[in-house]
Structure 1
Amino acid sequence: MTDPQPSVLLNNDIQMPLLGLGTFRLQGQEDTYSAVDAALKAGYRAFDTAAVYRNEAHLGHALRCLLPKHGLSREDVFITSKLGPKDQGSKARNGCQKSLEQLGLGYIDLYLIHWPGTQGLPVGDKRNPENRAQSWRVLEEFYSEGKFRAIGVSNYTVEHMQELLKSCKVPPAVLQVEFHPKLLQNDLRGLCKIRGVCFQAYSSLGTGLLLSNPVVLEIAKECGRTPAQVLLRWAVQQSIAVLPKSSQPERVKENGRLFDFEISEEDMERLSALDCGEKFCWDPTQVS
């Protein structure tokens, strides 16, 4: 796999790029094609989708068309997808197989359980732990068959992670959660470090609300960079993988320019000092 940008080594010796294109809310074949084209041109080699995004087929189509255009092969890109909450438990096998079929790329580099709960069940339902355990066993089977090169989870809390780590045969390679200066997730990061799980961020811009934060704006002005670049660089400078998303080619290119500047140690600390535990996305802490 060619590696034009920095990557992280997962616990099963697979390299995962630090920068990937997030595709949440990226809809339609035309917009997906345009965003993927811009991303490949800008040096992105990782793409993150999910069953619930309903764009796996569009992403797969775009990559099959565009990889030859950019002189790349399937092995040059890292594709992540996720099992939807509606397929948690007894439907996990069908959900995994459908993701493979929708993407049409032969295999998936990283497949995650998207959410610790099950669609249609109350968050406190005691069937949730049973269902995610069943889902993990299915992911382990797909992993052992080479259909998934790595497996992991998303939106898991410390408690969910501890439960999984006690019972799994294959340890999770990645935990993908909301992470930005207002949500440092120190307990989760500490657990991941001890257990060799790669900690990956989504919503690095705080759903866009952090772009107008005075501290972020001040540091961006000092660096001569955009607020988005500052927030993303703050994460990758800590070796945390990021997944900025945009359907605008210029923004995709801009967000990818993270590896040609550094934030000073003082400014890194100023950004981290914004931590207040604020979540801008969904909260999994109530899921049993």
Structure 2
Amino acid sequence: MKMSSSASTGPSAPLNTGSRMPLLGLGMYKLCGGEAVLQAVDASLAAGYRAFDSAAVYRNEAELGHALKELLPKYGLTREDVFITSKLSPKDQGKGAMEGALHSLSNLGMDYIDLYLIHWPGTQGLDVTDKCNPGNRAQSWAALEELHAQGKLKAIGVSNYTPAHMRELMGSCKVHPAVLQVEFHPLECQTELRSVCQEFGVRFQAYTSLGRGELLTDPHVLQVAETCKRTPAQVLLRWAVQQGVPVLPKSSTPERIRENARIFDFTLSDSDMAKLSALDRGHKFCWDPSQVV
């Protein structure tokens, strides 16, 4: 996969919309409070981050919008220089999707969102086996397609979809999803999902790259980190971006934010890449969507 790099945007990967997604973004899960968000966004912009990943359920869309409005001029940047992702709450899945997406736009205080995802294939309040889930997903997607046509959502996609959910969507959608965002790290290499994304021209994106911190002490990861004189976090993030997979490490600590950005000035050897990929055993640290019908 060809990647581009420039001083203003950093390394990025193409989407099927014709736009590009930065390979590095700040994950904002559990980042709460105006001052904490402001500090994290400030440190991220200073370190070269140009993508920010929020969600309705994170309850920090408004704080992100305020932080960017205040900080972009400080770095000589405009709204067009950053890539903003947010996600539809599972409580709005189905008939509430249009209102939910517009609420995200309002919270962010923006005219458009670069990427908006269906956060979860199920519906809050329904059992995972409830046969209303497929219909609700389809209704949500139709609402996102409408907002995409209006230019309010520049790209639309999904998160936590399985291969079955992806094939279902591809069989009925008018607008192809631009991105699938799922858990991805050496213990969960998502081979089938990546193949499905490649088949349909969907950009595969990672979250939980560090295994909620547990992978930072894995002996195999530590060994690779020692070999290349990098931190375990940098090794894990590099493992993904070296495969063309965008990452969203989350942190509220400026030093850690800067450290996580230093992943584009070294390369893992083929043997180290293979060593990490060989750890795959389909292990998830987060929720498992495989039971959602």
TM-score > 0.5, shorter chain as reference: yes
Matched, 1:168 2:173: yes
User: Of 208, 219, 223, which aligns to 1:218?
Assistant: 223
User: Of 13, 19, 27, which aligns to 1:8?
Assistant: 13
User: Of 222, 234, 237, which aligns to 2:239?
Assistant: 234
SS at match of 1:121: coil
| Matches of 1:234 and 1:128, distance apart in 2 | 34
Matched, 1:91 2:88: no
Shift of 1:4: 3.3
Cα RMSD (Å) = 0.9
2:184 aligned partner, one-letter code: F
Query: CA offsets, 1:51-94, max 9 Å, x none?
Result: 00000000000000000011000000000000000000011111
Counterpart residue number, 1:181: 186
Matched, 1:109 2:106: no
Query: CA offsets, 1:12-61, max 9 Å, x none?
Result: 10111010000000000000000000000000000000000000000000
Counterpart residue number, 1:251: 256
Is the contact made by 2:186 and 2:276 (CA closer than 8 Å) also made in structure 1?
Answer: yes
User: Of 186, 192, 195, which aligns to 2:200?
Assistant: 195
Shift of 1:5: 1.1
Is the contact made by 1:175 and 1:197 (CA closer than 8 Å) also made in structure 2?
Answer: yes
Q: Which runs of 5+ in 2 are unaligned?
A: 1-5
SS at match of 1:94: helix
Query: CA offsets, 1:172-208, max 9 Å, x none?
Result: 0000000000000000000101110000000000111
1:68 aligned partner, one-letter code: P
Q: 1:35-184 counterparts in 2 under 5 A?
A: 35-184=40-189
Counterpart residue number, 1:279: 284
SS at match of 1:167: coil
1:28 aligned partner, one-letter code: G
Counterpart residue number, 1:209: 214
| Matches of 2:238 and 2:87, distance apart in 1 | 25
| Matches of 1:197 and 1:157, distance apart in 2 | 13
1:172 aligned partner, one-letter code: P
Counterpart residue number, 1:24: 29
| Matches of 1:246 and 1:2, distance apart in 2 | 23
Counterpart residue number, 2:269: 264
| Matches of 1:147 and 1:14, distance apart in 2 | 15
Decide which moves more: 4-13 or 143-152.
Answer: 4-13
Shift of 1:10: 0.2
Counterpart residue number, 2:3: none
Is the contact made by 2:37 and 2:63 (CA closer than 8 Å) also made in structure 1?
Answer: yes
Shift of 1:3: 4.0
Shift of 1:105: 1.9
The alignment's TM-score, normalised by the length of structure 1, stands at: 0.99
Give aligned-pair identity as a percent: 66
The alignment's TM-score, normalised by the length of structure 2, stands at: 0.97
| Matches of 2:273 and 2:100, distance apart in 1 | 40
Shift of 1:2: 6.9
Is the contact made by 1:192 and 1:199 (CA closer than 8 Å) also made in structure 2?
Answer: yes
Is the contact made by 2:183 and 2:284 (CA closer than 8 Å) also made in structure 1?
Answer: yes
